[in-house]
């Protein structure tokens, strides 16, 4: 892809309406465009990043045995009346009437709809557990949409739902998602900490928010610093191992402000380990037993012949919010340098030729390298504009393409100037460069 033919509307300066760095950068490099309050179009650069994040989320869901489905964005009010949430949900729900005057709504979440799908087909404990997920647009008419796609009205979410025969099995499902979330965020190079959280309009009594630290985050958190040293390393998808993993995290005090208890915090955490700061909620998991299965009558036959309501949980990841969250975590605002994790970068490599008038040789060389790299499936963009090299490098530092090949005076003979964003360039052969990039692909 040549940048001259691509739709990447870069702005010269930071847009004044954006208050936080992710919003600024996303507008600056043309990843999104606001269409109305809290509603955005995703332009090619932003859409590519979001799709790559979505794929990682999907792979980690599949690994724990969750099955992907697709539900409609528009739902009927009937099932929401059955669960009793039609009135409870309030103004955040966008309510619509169709031409027959039927009450419809744009789904803010899908507990009711998925329970209806479940109850129509699953009748026996033998078919459990069922873990279903979808990756879909949701709409919440937020009172105060802000910070670009971080808190918007239409957003892209992975939402999963578990159905189990009893509490013990349901907690096993909960813990599978707990592990899956730690792994997902690690692949995105984020440190997301699970914190005991309130359940809000989703309901239930067990819940964790996964939070990444950021000054601009909207969640206030109180935590024991030692939780940052933990990892999911060595945990298997097996009951005891998963229970151990959750206990390992839960041994350290770590909560959002709704759950904060000053006395407990000061008793359990020594002064030097206390951390009170802000963070971004990138995921949220809930266990709510039969809160929805009971009113919606989703029951299965048990082994002894009796019937019981299934025990459910739901598990969300803000896929579109993650695009902003990664920027908040990785963007160096002062030097205007962004480096996307290789696994989700809009392009993996940029080829930046120094182009002189009346001399096409560097552009030809760039195109030849591009074609060669295509065979290795390396996602590459060529800057074919006639800007000088330093402004090309600056531009790609801002876009955050993690690697650059610079074809200028220093790329001579068999070697090319190869640069990792934010580091000093090296002279390497094309084979050496391919080796480095392939290794990063495998790692991901």
Chain residues in the site for ligand 5CA (CB under 6 A): 109, 140, 142, 151-152, 155, 157, 159, 202, 281-286, 314-316, 318, 321
- What is the separation of C-alpha 330 from the centre of its chain, rounded to a whole number of angstroms? 14
Give the nearer residue to ligand 5CA in terms of CB position, either 80 or 155: 155
Min. distance of Cβ 281 from ligand 5CA in angstroms?
Answer: 5
Contact 378, 437 (CB under 8 A): yes
Residue number closest to ligand 5CA, CB atom? 318
Give the nearer residue to ligand 5CA in terms of CB position, either 151 or 395: 151
> Count of CB atoms within 10 A of residue 347's CB?
23
Give the nearer residue to ligand 5CA in terms of CB position, either 177 or 403: 177
Q: Report the greatest alpha carbon distance in the chain.
A: 85
The DSSP 8-state label assigned to residue 233 in this structure reads T
Min. distance of Cβ 278 from ligand 5CA in angstroms?
Answer: 15
Nearest 5°: phi and psi at 430?
-60, -35
Where residue 241 falls (left for φ over 0; alpha for ψ -120 to 50; beta otherwise) is: alpha
Closest by CA to 75, choosing from 95, 96, 46, 104, is 104
Give the nearer residue to ligand 5CA in terms of CB position, either 157 or 355: 157
Give the nearer residue to ligand 5CA in terms of CB position, either 212 or 382: 212
Q: How far apart are CA 317 and CA 327, in angstroms?
A: 17
Min. distance of Cβ 261 from ligand 5CA in angstroms?
Answer: 22
Three-class SS of 340-392: CCHHHCCCCEEEEECCECCECHHHHHHHHHHHHHHCCCCCEEECCCCCCHHHH
Min. distance of Cβ 139 from ligand 5CA in angstroms?
Answer: 9
Partners of 156 in beta bridges: 137
Give the nearer residue to ligand 5CA in terms of CB position, either 162 or 411: 162
36: number of CA atoms within 13 Å, CB side?
Answer: 3
Min. distance of Cβ 108 from ligand 5CA in angstroms?
Answer: 7
Give the nearer residue to ligand 5CA in terms of CB position, either 179 or 406: 179
Coil, helix or strand at residue 425:
coil
Closest by CA to 409, choosing from 385, 392, 389, is 389
Give the nearer residue to ligand 5CA in terms of CB position, either 207 or 362: 207
Give the nearer residue to ligand 5CA in terms of CB position, either 43 or 285: 285
Give the nearer residue to ligand 5CA in terms of CB position, either 152 or 182: 152
Return the C-alpha torsion angle 84, 90, 93, 94, nearest 10: 120
Beta pairing class for 130-139 and 154-164: antiparallel
Where residue 30 falls (left for φ over 0; alpha for ψ -120 to 50; beta otherwise) is: left
Min. distance of Cβ 372 from ligand 5CA in angstroms?
Answer: 40
Min. distance of Cβ 137 from ligand 5CA in angstroms?
Answer: 11
Min. distance of Cβ 5 from ligand 5CA in angstroms?
Answer: 32
Closest by CA to 64, choosing from 230, 241, 199, is 241
Q: How far apart are CA 259 and CA 268, in angstroms?
A: 15
Query: What strands, in cross-sheet order, belong to the sheet with 380-382?
Result: 380-382, 349-353, 403-407, 415-420, 426-429
Min. distance of Cβ 316 from ligand 5CA in angstroms?
Answer: 3
Q: What would the two tokens of residue 155 be?
A: 């957003």
Give the nearer residue to ligand 5CA in terms of CB position, either 142 or 387: 142
């Amino acid at each position: 892809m040549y940048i001259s033919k691509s739709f990447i509307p870069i702005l010269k300066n930071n847009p004044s309406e954006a208050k936080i760095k992710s919003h600024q950068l996303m507008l600056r490099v043309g990843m999104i465009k606001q269409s109305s309050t809290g509603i955005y179009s995703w332009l090619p650069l932003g859409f590519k990043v979001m799709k790559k994040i979505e794929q990682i989320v999907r792979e980690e869901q599949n690994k724990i045995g969750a099955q992907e489905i697709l539900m409609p964005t528009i739902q009927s009010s009937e099932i929401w009346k059955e669960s009793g949430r039609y009135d409870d949900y309030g103004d955040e729900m966008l309510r619509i009437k169709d031409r027959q005057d039927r009450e419809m709504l744009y789904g803010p979440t899908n507990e009711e709809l998925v329970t209806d799908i479940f109850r129509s087909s699953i009748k026996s404990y033998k078919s459990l557990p069922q873990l279903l997920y979808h990756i879909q647009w949701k709409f919440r008419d937020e009172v105060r949409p802000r910070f670009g796609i971080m808190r918007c009205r239409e957003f892209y979410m992975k939402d999963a739902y578990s159905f189990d025969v009893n509490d013990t099995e349901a907690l096993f499902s909960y813990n599978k998602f707990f592990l899956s979330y730690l792994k997902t965020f690690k692949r995105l190079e984020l440190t997301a900490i699970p914190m005991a959280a309130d359940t809000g309009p989703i309901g239930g009594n067990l819940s964790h928010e996964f939070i990444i630290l950021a000054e601009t985050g909207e969640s206030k958190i109180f935590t024991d610093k030692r939780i940052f040293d933990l990892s999911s390393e060595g945990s298997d998808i097996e009951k005891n191992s998963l229970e151990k993993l959750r206990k390992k995290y839960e041994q350290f005090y770590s909560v959002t402000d709704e759950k904060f208890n000053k006395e407990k915090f000061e008793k359990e955490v020594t002064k030097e380990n206390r951390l009170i700061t802000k963070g971004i909620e990138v995921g949220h998991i809930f266990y709510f037993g039969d809160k929805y299965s009971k009113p919606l009558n989703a029951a299965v036959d048990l082994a002894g012949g009796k019937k019981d309501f299934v025990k459910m949980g739901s598990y969300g990841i803000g896929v579109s919010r993650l695009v902003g969250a990664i920027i908040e975590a990785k963007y160096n605002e002062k030097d205007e340098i962004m480096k996307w994790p290789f696994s989700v970068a809009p392009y993996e490599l940029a080829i930046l030729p120094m182009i002189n008038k009346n001399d096409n040789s560097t552009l030809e060389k760039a195109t030849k390298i591009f074609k060669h790299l295509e065979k290795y499936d390396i996602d590459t963009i060529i800057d074919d504009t006639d800007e000088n090299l330093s402004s090309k490098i600056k531009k790609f530092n801002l876009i955050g393409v993690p690697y650059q090949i610079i074809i200028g005076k220093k790329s001579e003979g068999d070697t090319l100037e190869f640069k990792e964003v934010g580091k000093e360039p090296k002279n390497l052969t094309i084979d050496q460069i391919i080796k480095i990039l392939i290794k990063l692909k495998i790692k991901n």
